[in-house]
Structure 1
Amino acid sequence: MFVRKKLNKSGKISIQVIQKLNGRNKVVKTIGCSNNAGVVEKLFLEGKEWINRLSGLQEFSFSSHKQELHQFIAGIESLTVIGIEKLLGKLFDEIGFGKVKDQMFRHLVLCRLVYPVSKLKTVDYLSKYHGLCIDINSVYRYMDKLHSKQKEAIQDISYAHTCEVLKEPLNLLFYDVTTLYFEIEQEDDLRKPGFSKDGKHSNPQIVLGLLVTQQGYPVSYSIFEGNKYEGHTLMPIIVSFEHKYHVEKLIVVADAGMLSKDNIRELKARGFEYILGARIKNESEEIKQAILSRELQNGQSCVLLNKENSDRLIVTYSSARAKKDAHNRRKGLDRLKTQIKNGQLTKKHINNRGYNKFLKIENEVKVSLNEEMITLDAKWDGLKGYLTNTGLAANFIVESYQNLWNVEKAFRIAKSDLKVRPVYHRAQRRIEAHICITFAAYKIYKELERQLKIKKAGLSPEKAIEIAKTIQKITVTHPLSDHTVSKMLILTPEQQNLANLFDF
C-alpha cells in the first residue's frame, strides 16, 4: 500500500491510501482533502501512519530527516526545570515538610534555595522556568496563613527529623544572634534601629536568634525587636525550647555577648548547664593575676574557680590567636595614629569602643595614645576564657565552644546564599513568615550537605544545586496522534552523576 495525492476538479487535493491488486489501484481509505499545502502534508503523513498501524509497524515514517526534525520541534509543548524538584523536592519530603499540605510552601522554600529574590520576582521565576502561574496576592495570603497556623509545625518537623538523623538526644545546643535590616526609614514596634551586625546602624532592623545542634542543624529560632540587647534574647528561646520538647539536662553554648549576671542566675535557677565565652579582662584583679601568672604556652590551659558564682573558668593559650590579636591591634592603632595626625580625633572619641580605649587626653586638649594601656593589653594576646557550670572535661568545653562557628555559618549562608536580608515586608506576620521560609530552606541545605558527605560525592551543596538547575524536562506532543510524552534530559556527565547519587 501507498499514499497518493489526487487533484480533484474542485481544485482540492485528496489524500488516499491505495492498494495495488491485479495490476489495478484500489482506494482503501480516503484520509481527507484540502487546498492548503500544510494541511495536505499533514494528511499525507496521517495516511502513512495509517498504513504503519495496519501493518503493525511502530516507527515514524517521515519523508526526510529534516522533515522529521521540524515535526518534532513543532510538537514541543514546554521545557521546564525539573532538577530542583528531583533533588531538593526529594529532600523536602524526606525531612517531612510535605506534611504541610500547601504547595505554596513547597514552592517558596525551594525557590529560596535556588533563586532567593523578592516574592514578586519569585512568582516570575516560577512562571518562566517551572510553568507555574501563581498570583502574587495568593503568595501574600499564604504567608499570612503560614504565620498564623504553620510556623510552629515547621519547627517541630525540623526538630523531629534532626533527632531521627542524629539518633541521640539534643541536649547540647548552640545559640547566637544576628540582625536583619530593612530598606525603610520608618520604624515600628518590631523594626527599630539598634546595633547592626551588617553595619546598617541607621536602618530599622530585627534581631534573629537561632539554636543549632553541634553539627549545625537548625532546631529553633526566635525574632526580637531591633533595639533589644542580645543578652536578653537567650533565656526566652531556651526556656521555650525546653518547655516545648522536654529536653533533659540541656547544655547551652553561647558567646560572651550572652554573659550577664542575670542570665547566669536564671540559667542556674532553671537547672540549665552552660558553656559561655568569658570576658577574662573584666574578671577580678585576683583572677586576672592568677591567669597571667600561669604564663601559658601554646596549646596549654588552666582551670580556675570563679568565687563569685562557683563556676569553672577555663583559660587557653594559642600562639596563632596571639599573632592575630597583635595584628588586629596594630591595624587599629595605625588607624588611630593617622586620625590623630590629621586632627580627626577630639574629646568625644575618648570611649571604650574598639581601639578607642587606647586614647587619652593630654592637657585637656591633645588626644594621644595611651602606651601603658597598649602594653597591658598585649599581655592578654592569645588568651581565651570559657565559663561553665558543667562537670565536663576542659578539652570538651573548649571543643564545644569552638563549634559555635556552626551558628555563624548558618547566618552567613542565610544572608549570602538564601538572601534572607534585606527584608522588604512591612507587616510583622509576613516578616515572621519570611524568616520561617528561610529557616526551612536552611534545614534542606544542611540535609543536602549531610547526604552529599555520606555519599562521598565531592560536591558542595551550592554545586549540587547549580547542577540541578540545569536539568530540564521536555514535553512533546506527537504531530499526528496528539499523544503527549515527557522526558527528563540528562545531557552531561555531572548531571548523570547527580541523578545517580540521588536516584532520579
Structure 2
Amino acid sequence: MRTSTRKNADGSKVSYLQLAHNEWDPAAKTSRTKVLYSFGRADQLDRAAIERLIKALTRLLGSPTAGGRGRQEPLPGLEFVESRPLGGAWLLDGLWRRLGIDRLLRRLAAGTRRDPVVERVLFALVANRALAPSSKLAATGWVAHDVHLSGLTGGDYTVSDDACYRAMDWLIKVEEKLARGVFDAVADLLNLEVDLIFFDTTSTYFETEDPDTPVWRDEHGRVLDPDGEPGAESGRESDAEGDAPPAGASGRAGFRTHGKSKDARDDLPQVIVGMAVTRDGIPVRVWCWPGNTSDSPLIRQVRDDLRDWTLGKLIWVADRGFTSAANRRHLAAGGGGYILGEKLRSGSPEATAALARQGRYQQVAENLRVKEVKISEHERFVVCHNPEAADRDAATRDRLLTRLEAMIAGSDRLTPTKRAELRGVISTKPGLHRFLRTTPGGLLRIDATKVAADARLDGKYLLRTSDPHLSTEDIALGYKQLLEVERGWRDMKQVLDLRPVYHRLEDRIRAHVLLCWLALLLARIVETRAATTWTRARTQLQRLHVGTFTGPAGVFRQTTPADPETRRLHQALDIALPPRILHLHTEDPAPR
C-alpha cells in the first residue's frame, strides 16, 4: 500500500492510497514503482469495498479469512491508543467553514506576522467555550487530550496558552471586520429577517476587590493615548491626576470598576456587556464598556456601529433603560424607528397620562392584551397587560405585605425613638417602604390606598414607538421578543460560562467576550436549523468519537457509527458526517 500526499493552496494536505509494487527496469538498472490500483482519497476510503475485495481474493486462494468481518484476531502489532469526542467539534467546524469564518480570519491574517494556524487556535477557543467551557490554560489541555480538532489533533503544532493569548490579542484588532463579515455570512445562510434589532445590556463581575486604575477614555469607553487616539494597550497605568485630558476624551474610568450590578454584586468590580439580537435570536454583535457606564447612551453607539451594515429599515427594540429623549431622537433619525418599554409604576408623565386614558383591551395572544392610547402627536403609546405577569405581581406583593406586617407588628408598644429606628430600617427596603404609612401620631401602618393603586398596575407596562405603520399587535409582540436577548444572556452565562473571566487586561477581557459571542452564534444557528436546544444537541454530538490505532504500518483513526439523532443534526445543517476512516497514514506510526 502506497500513500501519496498533495498539499493544497490553503496549506491543507490530502492523502491518496494506491496498490503498487516495484518492478526492475533492466535498461535503467533501477527499481520503479508501478501503480496497480488507486483507492482514492484516504479520508474517503470505501472500507466495505476493500473488505469485499479481500474476501474475493481469499475465496480464490482457498485460505482462511484474513481480512473480513469474521476475523477474530487483530492485525499483528495493531494497538488501540485512545478515543476522543469528535461530533461536537466536527459539526461546529463544519458550520464555521460554511460561514466562511476560517477564510475571513486567514484573509485578515495574510501579510501579518500572525502564526499561520491562528485561525485554528481561535476556532479551538470558540469550540472549547461551546463544548467544555474553561480557562485558556485549561483549554490547551482540552485540545491536547480531550477532543479531536481538524488541523490541530495529530499534527506537529501544539496549542499553548501563549498561542491562545497571542490569538486573542490579534482578534480584538480585527473585531470590526470580523463582526461585519460574520453577519453578512449568517444573513445569507439563514435568510435573516433583519427588520427588528433587539438590544439589551448585562454586567459580569470579577472576583477581585480592587477596581482597575482609571484612564482617559473616549465616548465609546475605549482607552485613549495622550494624542487622543484609541490606545493599543488597555492595561497601562493611568495618567497622573491633574494632567490635561487628551483630545476626544470623555472621562476617566477603569475597565473593571464598580457600578450598578445586574447580578446583585455591587461589592465587586464589573464590566458592562451589550448584545444586539435579531428577531430569530441570532446575536448580531457584542460590545463591552467600563463597569460604571450607564445604559442610556449605549444604544446610540450601537446604532452608529451598525449604520453601514446592509440592514434596511430598522426598528430598535429595547427596555426602559434606553428611553431617554436623546436616544429616541437618535434611533428615529434617518428613517429608523424604535419600540421602547417602561414600567407604568415609573411615574413618568407619559405613564401617568396613559393610565388616565380610557379604552378597551384587544386580545393579541394567549397571555397578552393591548390597547393604544393617544398621548402625543409624534409618538404612539400602547398599554400592555399580561394576565400571567399580573398573577406573579400579586403574589410578590402579598409576600411583601406579609413581611411588612411581621416587621411592624407590636410597634405600637415601642417608644417613639424605637419606632423611628424601625421606620429607618424599612426605608432601606424600597419594596416594603412603598406600602408603609405613618399616622399623625407616629404609628406604623400599611397604606391600603397605595396597595390598591399598585394592584391596578399588575401585569401592565407601557410601550412607545415612532413607527406610524406598525399595528398594535406587531408593536406588542415585537417587544415581547426582547426575551430573545434575555435568553442569550442566560445561555451565555449558564451554558457557555461567560463568568468567571480569567483575565486582567482589558483587551483580553474584550476578546473573551468576543469568543463567547462566536460560540453563542454557532449554538443559535444549530438551534434554529435543527429545532433543538444547544445543550441537548451538544450532549448528543459528543457521543460520536474517533478512535486512534497504531501499528508497524502506521496510524489510522476510525470514527464510531453515528446514531439517527446525530445524522439528523448534520442533515439539518447540511454538513457531511465524518468519514468512517478519518485519517490513514501508512508511513510512520504516530508517537506514543
Shorter-chain TM-score above 0.5 = yes
Q: State which of 128, 132, 139 in structure 2 corresponds to 1:115.
A: 132
1:252-291 equivalence runs, <5 A: 252-269=316-333, 271-281=335-345, 282-284=347-349, 287-291=353-357
Q: Is 1:210 equivalent to 2:314 in the alignment?
A: no
Q: State which of 209, 226, 233 in structure 1 corresponds to 2:291.
A: 226
The whole-number CA distance in structure 2 between the counterparts of 1:348 and 1:166 is 55
Partner of 2:203: 179
Alignment root-mean-square deviation, CA: 3.1
Q: Is 1:400 equivalent to 2:478 in the alignment?
A: yes
1:426 Cα offset (Å): 0.5
Three-state SS of the structure 1 residue aligned to 2:297 is helix
Q: State which of 460, 471, 485 in structure 1 corresponds to 2:556.
A: 485
Three-state SS of the structure 1 residue aligned to 2:198 is strand
Q: State which of 378, 393, 400 in structure 2 corresponds to 1:310.
A: 378
The whole-number CA distance in structure 2 between the counterparts of 1:325 and 1:402 is 18
Equivalent pair of 2:203/2:270 in contact (CA under 8 Å): yes
Equivalent pair of 1:174/1:253 in contact (CA under 8 Å): yes
Partner of 1:96: 100
Equivalent pair of 2:121/2:164 in contact (CA under 8 Å): yes
The whole-number CA distance in structure 2 between the counterparts of 1:129 and 1:136 is 16
1:475 Cα offset (Å): 2.3
TM-score (norm 1): 0.78
Q: State which of 251, 258, 265 in structure 2 corresponds to 1:200.
A: 265
Partner of 1:423: 501
Partner of 2:85: 81
Structure 1 unpaired stretches of 5+? 1-51, 454-458
1:346 Cα offset (Å): 3.4
Cα pair distance change 1:246/1:494, threshold 3 Å: closer
1:366 Cα offset (Å): 5.1
The whole-number CA distance in structure 1 between the counterparts of 2:62 and 2:162 is 53
The whole-number CA distance in structure 2 between the counterparts of 1:268 and 1:498 is 41
The one-letter code sitting in structure 2 at the alignment partner of 1:486 is: R
1:311 Cα offset (Å): 0.9
The one-letter code sitting in structure 2 at the alignment partner of 1:466 is: T
Partner of 2:34: none
The whole-number CA distance in structure 2 between the counterparts of 1:58 and 1:138 is 53
The whole-number CA distance in structure 1 between the counterparts of 2:328 and 2:316 is 11
Partner of 1:164: 188
1:31-110 equivalence runs, <5 A: 60=66, 68-69=73-74, 71=76, 74-99=78-103, 100-101=105-106, 102-110=119-127
Cα pair distance change 1:485/1:209, threshold 3 Å: same
Three-state SS of the structure 2 residue aligned to 1:396 is helix
Cα pair distance change 1:452/1:491, threshold 3 Å: closer
The whole-number CA distance in structure 1 between the counterparts of 2:268 and 2:495 is 22
Partner of 2:164: 139
Task: Specify which structure has the higher proportion of helix.
Answer: 1
1:489 Cα offset (Å): 1.1
Partner of 2:7: none
Cα pair distance change 1:270/1:123, threshold 3 Å: same
Q: Is 1:152 equivalent to 2:176 in the alignment?
A: yes
The whole-number CA distance in structure 1 between the counterparts of 2:273 and 2:123 is 23
Structure 2 unpaired stretches of 5+? 1-57, 107-118, 213-253, 412-420, 578-592
Partner of 1:4: none
The whole-number CA distance in structure 2 between the counterparts of 1:419 and 1:355 is 34
The one-letter code sitting in structure 2 at the alignment partner of 1:159 is: F
* CA deviations over 1:191-242 (Å, ceiling 9, x no partner): 1122222222211111111101001111122111111222222111112211
Equivalent pair of 2:277/2:485 in contact (CA under 8 Å): yes
Partner of 2:430: 353
Equivalent pair of 1:347/1:367 in contact (CA under 8 Å): no
The one-letter code sitting in structure 1 at the alignment partner of 2:457 is: W
Equivalent pair of 1:231/1:260 in contact (CA under 8 Å): yes
Equivalences, count: 438
1:105 Cα offset (Å): 0.7
Partner of 1:434: 512
1:438 Cα offset (Å): 0.5
Cα pair distance change 1:286/1:145, threshold 3 Å: closer
Equivalent pair of 1:158/1:443 in contact (CA under 8 Å): no
1:315-330 equivalence runs, <5 A: 315-330=383-398
Equivalent pair of 1:311/1:389 in contact (CA under 8 Å): yes
Partner of 2:55: none
Three-state SS of the structure 1 residue aligned to 2:463 is strand
The whole-number CA distance in structure 2 between the counterparts of 1:388 and 1:57 is 83
The whole-number CA distance in structure 1 between the counterparts of 2:466 and 2:570 is 49
TM-score (norm 2): 0.67
Equivalent pair of 1:192/1:206 in contact (CA under 8 Å): yes
Equivalent pair of 1:297/1:318 in contact (CA under 8 Å): no
Partner of 1:49: none
Equivalent pair of 1:277/1:386 in contact (CA under 8 Å): yes
Q: Percent identity?
A: 25
The one-letter code sitting in structure 1 at the alignment partner of 2:558 is: K
Partner of 1:40: none
Three-state SS of the structure 1 residue aligned to 2:209 is coil
* CA deviations over 1:350-408 (Å, ceiling 9, x no partner): 26834432234446965543222111111122322210110111111001001001000
